[in-house]
Chain A
């Protein structure tokens, strides 16, 4: 908008606007920064300190940062196990879900199938209504899927929203490509693998990424369906470490509490690190995903 002449009041507005945005940015960053810096701090200093930790606290220049908390976190087998489980759930679940949604989206984008509208109806109803927690739980129980790895990757695999988005993307592809392939004698499967998937792969990738992030961050399914700690995903282990201390107790062993705090900070850092490493690279796909999701299905 550089065709406009700036008035003095515009300058004032711009400065105030920038300051407010800056303040919001700092508010977004500060809690995370505090946690990261605290995780490298000396636990005794940390207990004495009040206010935001902007830089690792230490008792002298000879020990600028401590790794004590991290040693203990990486020595924690259940945390590592949780990591491995989560990676498994994300990978396997992501594959199953992506394959099913792509298949479904492809079939429902075809013309001339008699039963298509009934399948579509079946899909739509699930978006409006569901059985609820307990009936779903009992079905899973009857299928003997409680406390298995499968319960984490199978039940949510058909995501109706993603399926519809993929269908819309496929419908947007030019018909001529498919027609010429048909003339060359290509069947549905050939069209799916040689034409549709290469052309719609950006949409599919975005949705797969969304699935993985959702799976990585969610704990609720595991809370309901898993009892066996060896199968717990990372978030369930984090839940134990971060949220299950006795919140009501007033007075307890101060020394122990000190180390517990440090370990909690370190655990948070270890938990969010992988996502933050990938974050700059995947961000644009997520912005794209928001757009894709907002299109008419």
Chain B
């Protein structure tokens, strides 16, 4: 019965099915086949037997990951870097947008916008190239730190582990603050001006207006952005870390993403690496589902 209906549907919407077929095929090959490939995480992979017929080892890879020193290290580093970028990197665009919003000269605001959006368009590799140059032994930032007495002698900061996290967070801030403010600025310009007029008539000064009109105006946007951020908490910026870390800083810099890359592609320990990757995907999925659910409930807005 259903099959007959389906057949008729396919005949009627033939064009549409032809158009959607390549997309379904793409998703199947590049998204769903790899998901099937996750069985690798439970196998001792040998190229001869392939992904689906290698020797089954059960949870061996997971146990060896969870009991190794790396587990605590990479999880801690991932969480610390994500939390730092959340706590510092999240409010900055909001503050920046609020400050820009107070500027009354259009030309000045536009200039600052154009300049501050610019770092967003520079590639990770170039950013890292600039960072490496600036914090090298003779680099600008190293010299500055020596001059103001933070450092005793000029050293390459990327080889000193306590400096790694500040370097990551500050460079992210440099790159992301301006562009991150776009959405907030748009929301701010959408706030009804009559609300400010009414507040003035009621005797509210600027600060009170900011507190009672501006902030409630952008609060929904802030909530949604925050929830989306939490959904990607485990996705620490591993392609940037990959360019900046050295064995000397693995202690603080090695995150799940970089660990999976090293184990899998450099050491070619496929099964183990797939297991760590699966762990990451599962936690990431839980975070996404939860944050998306919360977002749907609170803001009546959801990502999906």
A31-B130, A248-B159, A279-B118 known; A131+B27 contact, CB < 8 A? no
Q: Which of A47-104 contact B (CB under 8 A)?
A: 50-52, 100, 103-104
Could you tell me the distance between the alpha carbons of A241 and B126 in the complex, rounded to whole angstroms?
10
Number of chain A residues whose Cβ lies closer than 8 Å to a Cβ of chain B: 101
* Count of A-B residue pairs with CB < 8 Å: 275
Question: Please, which residue of chain A has its CB at the minimum distance from the CB of B247?
Answer: A248
Q: Which of B108-145 contact A (CB under 8 A)?
A: 108, 111-112, 114-119, 121-126, 128-130, 132-134, 136-138, 140, 143
Question: Which of B200, B242, B303 has the most chain A CB atoms inside 10 A of its CB?
Answer: B303
Looking at B9-17, B62-70, B71-79, B82-90, the stretch in contact with chain A turns out to be B9-17
A residues less than 8 Å from B96 (CB atoms):
24
Question: Please, which residue of chain B has its CB at the minimum distance from the CB of A217?
Answer: B123
Question: Please, which residue of chain B has its CB at the minimum distance from the CB of A294?
Answer: B183
Question: Please, which residue of chain A has its CB at the minimum distance from the CB of B178?
Answer: A28
Could you tell me the distance between the alpha carbons of A128 and B200 in the complex, rounded to whole angstroms?
47
Could you tell me the distance between the alpha carbons of A135 and B16 in the complex, rounded to whole angstroms?
31
Interface assignment of B246: CB less than 8 Å from any CB of chain A: yes
Looking at A106-114, A168-176, A200-208, the stretch in contact with chain B turns out to be A106-114
The main secondary structure of chain B at its interface with chain A is: helix
Q: Are B303 and A297 in contact, with the CB atoms below 8 A?
A: yes
Q: Are B277 and A134 in contact, with the CB atoms below 8 A?
A: yes
A residues less than 8 Å from B116 (CB atoms):
24-25, 28
Interface assignment of B219: CB less than 8 Å from any CB of chain A: no
> Which residue from A34, A134, A188, A291 sits with its C-beta under 8 Å from B16?
A188
CB distance from B208 to the nearest CB of A (A): 12
Q: Are B133 and A217 in contact, with the CB atoms below 8 A?
A: no
A residues less than 8 Å from B112 (CB atoms):
21-22, 24-25
Q: Are B206 and A238 in contact, with the CB atoms below 8 A?
A: no
Could you tell me the distance between the alpha carbons of A189 and B297 in the complex, rounded to whole angstroms?
39
Interface assignment of A231: CB less than 8 Å from any CB of chain B: no
A residues less than 8 Å from B100 (CB atoms):
21
Q: Are B129 and A158 in contact, with the CB atoms below 8 A?
A: no
A residues less than 8 Å from B140 (CB atoms):
34, 51-52
Q: Are A138 and B37 in contact, with the CB atoms below 8 A?
A: yes
Interface mask (A150-170 → B, CB under 8 Å = 1, otherwise 0): 000011111000011000000
Interface assignment of B22: CB less than 8 Å from any CB of chain A: yes
Could you tell me the distance between the alpha carbons of A123 and B32 in the complex, rounded to whole angstroms?
10
Question: Please, which residue of chain A has its CB at the minimum distance from the CB of B35?
Answer: A131
B residues less than 8 Å from A34 (CB atoms):
140
Could you tell me the distance between the alpha carbons of A235 and B122 in the complex, rounded to whole angstroms?
11
A residues less than 8 Å from B273 (CB atoms):
133-134
Q: Are A272 and B122 in contact, with the CB atoms below 8 A?
A: yes
Interface assignment of B215: CB less than 8 Å from any CB of chain A: no
Q: Are A20 and B99 in contact, with the CB atoms below 8 A?
A: yes
Interface mask (A125-156 → B, CB under 8 Å = 1, otherwise 0): 01111111111111100110000000000111
> Which residue from A25, A134, A250, A294 sits with its C-beta under 8 Å from B111?
A25
Question: Please, which residue of chain B has its CB at the minimum distance from the CB of A112?
Answer: B13
> Which residue from A115, A124, A130 sits with its C-beta under 8 Å from B34?
A130
Q: Are B183 and A137 in contact, with the CB atoms below 8 A?
A: no
Interface mask (A270-297 → B, CB under 8 Å = 1, otherwise 0): 0110011001100100110011001011
> Which residue from A106, A135, A154, A241 sits with its C-beta under 8 Å from B40?
A135
CB distance from B2 to the nearest CB of A (A): 9
Could you tell me the distance between the alpha carbons of A128 and B278 in the complex, rounded to whole angstroms?
13
A residues less than 8 Å from B129 (CB atoms):
238, 241-243, 264, 267-268
Q: Are A138 and B115 in contact, with the CB atoms below 8 A?
A: no
Interface residues, chain A, with chain B CB atoms under 8 Å away: 1, 3-4, 10, 13-14, 17-18, 20-22, 24-25, 27-29, 31-32, 34-35, 50-52, 100, 103-104, 106-108, 110, 112-115, 119, 122-124, 126-139, 142-143, 154-158, 163-164, 187-189, 192, 213, 216-220, 223-224, 235, 238-239, 241-243, 247-248, 250, 261, 264-265, 267-268, 271-272, 275-276, 279-280, 283, 286-287, 290-291, 294, 296-297
Known: A18-B103, A132-B34. 13 other contacts (CB 8 A): A4-B206, A25-B111, A119-B24, A126-B32, A128-B285, A134-B40, A135-B34, A188-B19, A220-B242, A271-B125, A279-B121, A290-B182, A296-B302
